[in-house]
Structure 1
Amino acid sequence: MYDVAIIGAGVSGIFMAYKLTLEHPEYNIIMIDKGKQLSERTCKAESKSSCKCEVCDQYIGFGGLGKSEGKFNYTNDFGGSLGRKIGNQKAEALMSEVDDVICSFGGNETELYHTHSPNLQQRAEIHGLKVLTTSVRHLGTALSTAVFQKLYNYLSKRIDMWFETDVSSINKDGSFVLETNHGTVITEKVVISTGNSGGQWMYKHCEKLGLKPGPSRIDLGLRVEMRGNQLDQILKEAFETKLHIAGEGYEGTTYCMNPNGRIIRKYQHGLVMPDGQNKREEKTPGSNLNFTLFVPSFFDTKKEADQFAEKVIGGINQKRARIVVQRVQDLKNGRPTNDSVIAQNTIQPSLEAEGGSLVDEVPQKFVRALLEFLDALQNLLGEPIDDDTVVYGMDAKFYEPKIRTNEQFETEVPGLYLIGDCSGETHSLSQAAASGLCAAESI
């Protein structure tokens, strides 16, 4: 008999297990994950089609997406609605606790930096932009992996951990009974922390327990690559900047700004998208700067949201990993950019993509949002956006729809908790980890 069973060994589950073992070492806890332990997560396939994993360990296994770039943004301005759920002050305190844990396991090898700039905020507001601020602990892949390996070593001595384990059923008859391919688990409380990758599995089991998801959201955005010194006027006040614009029928927010970074292919949900990679991941820093302007869309169901992404991005991909790139001046003038023009462009794309016309392949809302944002941005900068800036179609952020939980992340089924991205409340590593700490306090 276990006191707590945590299904999913991602960031939220790990931080929850850490807090429970630290404050209640007498608890009998098991962590179950369909992926592998961290040291065995070695897949380097560039695409889903070339991946030979039965369960791809790039995304699934101990550490979840925490073993990627390990970027922890400590803020209520973006990255989820944790502050609205539990109160901004408590959310900030929990994220501070997250950082303390990270540092205690070696994360303090990289410094915490801040993006707050009152002067920039005031100037941006004049031009219709809002500056979102954060404190950042950006570990990078190597340090993030080392930190989570130390957390694994700590937990492995204190709790049971079953990897490469499928949970086939969750039933409640007083206690919870979990049937798995490695045996039956009986537990007083169940915590689901399977993240976005375990969404379909989670909804199936929640529905059997009488819980149904609400509306769903998806963010799509055009990724921009500009000359490296284009944003010097604002980046001299902060290492990176997150800007928000609200226009007619849309809101847009910049995400994943990478000075001297490059653009790589991202593979998610069977789609291929342009994604930014930070200069810390590169042996030789690039000469360009990149970011995505994400615009959210809302649907009654997750299925409808996923179908929208498939229609737009899948249409661009054409079942051959195709990504479209276009000069911003051509985008403004409504003319396509061919490959010969790209070859002579002063701003050379860091990702090999196919020249084309985004107006013909992307819903008008996203093009209009980007062009209006760039107009506001050049007014803030006091200089024109370079005509040779290039734009890629199309990036996406996927979200899980919310199943109702209370302020402690407990569902309407007593003893069943949903944390991290499973809760529909967190969309960042820091808020996911904080939700795990919050639920641990309740338990």
Structure 2
Amino acid sequence: MKYDVIIIGAGPSGIFTALELVKKNSDKKILMIEKGNNIEKRHCPKEKTKKCVQCKPYCDITTGFSGAGAFSDGKLSLSYEVGGDLPSLIGYDKSMEFIEYADRIYLEFGADEKIEGIENNKEIKDIRRKAIQAGLKLVDCPIRHLGTEKAQDIYYKIEKYLIESGVDIKFNTLAKDIIIENDISKGVIISDLKTKNSIERVYGEKIVIATGRKGANWLKDMCIRHNINHKSGTVDIGVRVEVRNEVMEKVNNVLYESKLIGYPAPYKDKVRTFCQNPGGFVSQENYDNDLAIVNGHSYKDLKSDNTNLAILSSHNFTEPFNQPIEYGKKISETVNMLGNGSILVQRYGDILDGKRTWEKELGRSNVNPTLPDAIAGDLTSAIPYRPMTNILNFIKAMDVVVPGFASSETLLYGPEVKFYSNRINMNDKLETNIKNLHCLGDSSGWTRGLMMASVMGILMGREIYDK
């Protein structure tokens, strides 16, 4: 089979590449290859079982049309200051122009028109003053909240639109390898995950890799195998913190999501908040190597009594070590081992007291865990001293901004590790050193989150169309 464009991965960056070509009325023949299901077939058994059942051959929470984005909290960050390093590649003005364009597309497919965090200037100034007092920086970022359940509806409409517009999508299909000859990409070797049929070769003029955060390790393997220029990037090691809504009430009402950055002593590593979910739920997502990673969801209609957010400590490695993804995986595996394959949860006060948390102690708390099958235990036995110290000192600083945040009963869940630490070398046309091969989204190391991944897809679509 021969296509003009083959897109590996149907997450936001891959989707918006195809979508932009369709909107431009391109006559190019497009194939999308997706390991998971179409969005209407993506369901998590945990809704009924109340416990993760380790689905095979993949987890529907992280795999399928729209990627992890369909089951995330569904927040669009409307600022170039949030979402990775793409602006440094394509320019800040261009990034903002593309963010506004992508936002209009989300609205076209049914996104909520309300934007969070653009009012209450006096209250925002008060929060910023407290952040400065704590040695933290508050990043202004308007948020359009899709909501976990509404995001699925929006992406379902986009999926139908692409298929009706003639885009071929192969679901439950594994990209095993890229076909490269004389430093020119020619196609992809694929296999059917459900029937396990023999491998097949599909050929294309342009090959776009958009495998998402979950596919970062696969892309790194491709880089090594085919000499695609890349370098080790940052790995984020962290926890998901959960507190009562009353503690976060002011920040939730004024900003919806507080994006705070600090460089706490003694190491001065970058530590930041990420993915805040007012009235949200702590969630679990599984990777193909049976890693259980913690995340957070926030629905439009269904609300809990708690707010959760990630605190991530960023780490960069130099020679001779160049395997930050493996480093993150090893930490995650150790946490999972202590939790017997499940997410671990520990109270902040127990960490300070040098003891593990016991199940009976969680029941005495004002904070009822929203992840019911998390195992009470000891995160400090698995997360290395340096990132753990960074996280604890950052929580202490957060208590200045949000009094009560560093309460003894504040819950910390782990592991929360972000696997986007492989950075592909590209120019502003998104060209790699392999002709006709392009890499997008979180797996490329250039973006973090729905909006910037979508922006990168739009840019890719236009580059292909113009040629």
In the alignment, the residues of structure 2 paired with residue 286 and residue 430 of structure 1 have an alpha-carbon distance, to the nearest angstrom, of 26
2:284 aligned with 1:271, yes or no? no
- Map of 1:91 onto structure 2: 95
- Flag the 1:196–1:291 CA change in 2: closer, same or farther, 3 A: closer
- Map of 1:148 onto structure 2: 155
Counterpart code for 1:44: P
2:168 aligned with 1:160, yes or no? yes
**1:281-339 residue CA offsets vs partner (Å, 9 max, x unmatched):** 63xx3222222211012346998334433433322322623444333233223344433
2:244 aligned with 1:223, yes or no? no
- Map of 1:120 onto structure 2: 127
In the alignment, the residues of structure 2 paired with residue 105 and residue 290 of structure 1 have an alpha-carbon distance, to the nearest angstrom, of 28
Conserved 8 A contact 2:207-2:436? yes
- Map of 1:80 onto structure 2: 84
Select which of 293, 296, 317 maps to 2:314.
296
- Map of 2:9 onto structure 1: 8
What is the root-mean-square deviation of aligned Cα atoms in Å?
A: 2.9
Conserved 8 A contact 2:345-2:413? yes
2:177 aligned with 1:176, yes or no? no
2:389 aligned with 1:389, yes or no? no
In the alignment, the residues of structure 2 paired with residue 31 and residue 426 of structure 1 have an alpha-carbon distance, to the nearest angstrom, of 20
In the alignment, the residues of structure 1 paired with residue 342 and residue 60 of structure 2 have an alpha-carbon distance, to the nearest angstrom, of 24
| Matching of residues 12-411 of structure 1 within 5 Å | 12-44=13-45, 50-52=54-56, 54-69=57-72, 70-108=74-112, 111-114=114-117, 117-156=124-163, 157-167=165-175, 168-172=177-181, 176-181=186-191, 183-247=200-264, 248-249=266-267, 250-268=269-287, 269-280=289-300, 282=302, 285-299=303-317, 304-318=323-337, 320-352=340-372, 353-381=374-402, 385-411=406-432
Question: Secondary structure of 1:107's match?
Answer: coil
Question: Secondary structure of 1:114's match?
Answer: coil
Please report how far the alpha carbon of residue 96 of structure 1 lies from its aligned counterpart in structure 2 after TM superposition.
1.1
In the alignment, the residues of structure 1 paired with residue 249 and residue 145 of structure 2 have an alpha-carbon distance, to the nearest angstrom, of 21
2:436 aligned with 1:415, yes or no? yes
Conserved 8 A contact 1:11-1:65? no
**1:117-148 residue CA offsets vs partner (Å, 9 max, x unmatched):** 34432432132111122222222233222222
- Flag the 1:51–1:131 CA change in 2: closer, same or farther, 3 A: same
- Flag the 1:179–1:385 CA change in 2: closer, same or farther, 3 A: closer
- Flag the 1:334–1:148 CA change in 2: closer, same or farther, 3 A: same
Counterpart code for 1:171: I
- Flag the 1:26–1:227 CA change in 2: closer, same or farther, 3 A: closer
Please report how far the alpha carbon of residue 62 of structure 1 lies from its aligned counterpart in structure 2 after TM superposition.
2.3
Moved more, 167-176 or 420-429: 167-176
Query: What 5-or-longer segments of structure 2 have no aligned partner?
Result: 192-198
- Flag the 1:171–1:369 CA change in 2: closer, same or farther, 3 A: closer
Moved more, 391-400 or 81-90: 391-400
Please report how far the alpha carbon of residue 342 of structure 1 lies from its aligned counterpart in structure 2 after TM superposition.
2.9
TM-score (norm 2): 0.84
Please report how far the alpha carbon of residue 179 of structure 1 lies from its aligned counterpart in structure 2 after TM superposition.
4.1
In the alignment, the residues of structure 1 paired with residue 294 and residue 273 of structure 2 have an alpha-carbon distance, to the nearest angstrom, of 14
- Flag the 1:413–1:334 CA change in 2: closer, same or farther, 3 A: same
- Flag the 1:360–1:387 CA change in 2: closer, same or farther, 3 A: same
Question: Secondary structure of 1:4's match?
Answer: strand
- Flag the 1:172–1:78 CA change in 2: closer, same or farther, 3 A: same
**1:161-206 residue CA offsets vs partner (Å, 9 max, x unmatched):** 3333344441346772444458543332221112233334434444
In the alignment, the residues of structure 2 paired with residue 302 and residue 102 of structure 1 have an alpha-carbon distance, to the nearest angstrom, of 41
Paired-residue identity, %: 28
- Flag the 1:74–1:44 CA change in 2: closer, same or farther, 3 A: farther
**1:16-65 residue CA offsets vs partner (Å, 9 max, x unmatched):** 1111122242223222333333333345357876314x344433332222
In the alignment, the residues of structure 2 paired with residue 346 and residue 369 of structure 1 have an alpha-carbon distance, to the nearest angstrom, of 26
Conserved 8 A contact 1:259-1:279? no
Counterpart code for 2:427: N
Query: What 5-or-longer segments of structure 1 have no aligned partner?
Result: none
Please report how far the alpha carbon of residue 254 of structure 1 lies from its aligned counterpart in structure 2 after TM superposition.
1.1
In the alignment, the residues of structure 1 paired with residue 405 and residue 157 of structure 2 have an alpha-carbon distance, to the nearest angstrom, of 48
Conserved 8 A contact 1:196-1:400? no
Question: Secondary structure of 2:231's match?
Answer: coil
Counterpart code for 1:294: L
In the alignment, the residues of structure 1 paired with residue 413 and residue 430 of structure 2 have an alpha-carbon distance, to the nearest angstrom, of 38
Please report how far the alpha carbon of residue 411 of structure 1 lies from its aligned counterpart in structure 2 after TM superposition.
0.6
- Flag the 1:115–1:381 CA change in 2: closer, same or farther, 3 A: same
Question: Secondary structure of 2:247's match?
Answer: coil
